[in-house]
Amino acid sequence: MGRYLIRRLLQFIPVFFGATFLIFALVFIMPGDPIRALSGDKPLAPEVVQALQERYHLDEPFFVQYAIYIGNVFQGDFGTDFRGRPVSELMADRLPVTIRLALLAFGFEVVIGLTAGVVAGVRKGKFFDSLVLVSTLVVLAIPVFVLGFIAQIVFGVKLGWFPISGYREGWWSLVLPALVLGSLSLAYIARLSRTSLVENLRADYVRTAKAKGLSTPRVIGIHTLRNSLIPVVTYLAVDLGALMGGAIITETIFNLPGVGRAVFEATRAQEGTVVVGIATFLVIVYMVANLLVDVLYGVLDPRIRYD
């Protein structure tokens, strides 16, 4: 396990620098002069241009700029917005909402998705199984933002069960957005756990467990489920990326003051620095989550470790 852990950690370093470099390079090669974009229609005095260039190190070569940028990131500095407010401060403001939303969505995914998947897998070919397959297919096909508006119209406006938008009722106003945000992964987890369970139920060790005279709940709950959940756990890392992309859309639709909405607002206001700053932060979160799941995967499945 120790060697596996060290290897994973070592692999993380090039990916970290590579991904931050990639974001930086993609932004760097984009056409347009940032200072001219900042000044708008009025041309700036050459002294001002020079001062700005020095301040933002725009006169330095590409790699030096990247080194400065990554150095700042290590110090928790993700740049400032146009009003001079640090992006890290903005995120500290917005993150709690997004984390709550993501946790709630995650909870729905695991509780509803897993239950539906396991029940469908156990009753393979029965009515409930077909119901889960068809309904998950429909949910997978409807893009998050369409689903968000449908939920808003039906449950918010027509039925009045949930707040339509905003964040005035705390956790309660997050329930509907979290369901929408988690719907895609919920459907996928249901399908994944069903397939995995069905596959494992045919395994020899399950037959052995049954032959030993163990009760069905024990055979399924202890013996089969533990192995069936491995692919589901791996999926959770990928899922986090989907949650972040989805949070931008969901928070915009439901007007929640989270990080996702901050990205949207910055995009609308064309505040490139804020977009890049938040994106860098989110990509780092995603990378760390990927690493953690990789490690967890190694704990769960010894075959991976000795590969």
Partner 1 sequence: MTDNGKNANVPDQSPDPSSEAPTSPDPSGEEPTLYADTVSEYLPQDPVAAASDEASQRERFRQSPGMDVGLEDMPRTASLWGDAWRQLRRRPMFIISAILIAILVVISFFPGLFATHDPRDCNLIDSLLLPSSEHWFGTDLQGCDYYSRTLYGTRVSISIGILSVFFITIIAVVGGSVSGYYGGKVDSIIGRITDIWFVIPTILGGIVILSLVRTRGIVTVSLVLIVLGWATLLRLVRSSVLAVKANDYVEAARAMGASNTRIIMRHVLPNAIAPVIIVSAIYVGVIIAAEAALSFLGVGLQLPAISWGLMISTAQQRIITAPYLLVFPGAFLSVTVFSFILMGDALRDALDPKLR
Q: Which residues in 250-269 contact partner 1 (CB under 8 A)?
A: 252-253, 263-264, 266-268
Q: 69, exposed or middle or buried, with CB in 10 Å at 0-12, 13-18, 19+?
A: buried
Question: Minimal CA–CA distance to 251: which of 136, 173, 304?
Answer: 173
Closest approach of Cβ 148 to partner 1, in Å? 10
- State which of residues 1, 9, 15, 99 lies at the interface with partner 1 (CB under 8 A): 15
25 touching partner 1, by CB under 8 A: no
User: 82 or 171: whose CB is closer to partner 1?
Assistant: 82
Residue of 241, 300, 301, 305 that binds partner 1 (CB under 8 A): 241
Q: Which is nearer to partner 1, 11 or 216 (CB)?
A: 11
At a CB cut-off of 8 Å and minimum separation 6, what does 223 contact?
205, 206, 209, 214
Which one among 30, 45, 159, 211 touches partner 1, defined by CB under 8 A?
A: 30
DSSP secondary structure letter of residue 20 = H
Place of tokens 């998705």: 113
- Measured at the CA of 192, the angle between CA 208 and CA 287, to 5 degrees, comes to 115
Q: Is 230 in the site for partner 1 (CB under 8 A)?
A: no
Q: Considering only residues 167 through 206, tell me which ones interact with partner 1, judged by CB under 8 A.
A: 184, 188, 195
Which amino acid is residue 148, in one-letter code? G
Q: Which of 5, 58, 110, 142 binds partner 1 (CB under 8 A)?
A: 142
Q: What is the C-alpha radius of gyration for the chain, rounded to an integer number of angstroms?
A: 24
Do the Cβ atoms of 237 and 293 come closer than 8 Å?
yes
Neighbours of 298 (CB within 10 A): 19
Report d(CA 261, CA 247) in Å as an integer.
8
Minimum distance, C-beta of residue 99 to partner 1, in the bound complex (Å):
17
Q: Is 272 in the site for partner 1 (CB under 8 A)?
A: yes
- DSSP notation for 165-231: SSSSSGGGGGHHHHHHHHHHHHHHHHHHHHHHHHHHHTSHHHHHHHHTT--HHHIIIIIIHHHHHHH
Stretch that binds partner 1, among 71-79, 85-93, 273-281, 299-307 (CB under 8 A): 273-281
Give the one residue of 279, 292, 295, 304 binding partner 1; rule: CB under 8 A.
Answer: 279
**Contact status: 228 vs partner 1 (CB under 8 A):** no
Kindly give, in sequence order, each residue whose CB lies less than 8 Å from that of residue 22, ignoring residues fewer than 6 positions away: none
- Please report whether residue 101 would count as binding partner 1 according to CB under 8 A: no
Among 5, 7, 27, 300, binds partner 1 (CB under 8 A): 27
Which residues of this protein are in contact with partner 1, per CB under 8 A? 11, 14-15, 18-19, 22-23, 26-27, 30, 32, 137-138, 140-146, 149-150, 152-153, 157, 184, 188, 195, 231, 235, 238, 241-242, 244-246, 248-249, 252-253, 263-264, 266-268, 270, 272, 275-276, 279, 282-283, 286-287, 290
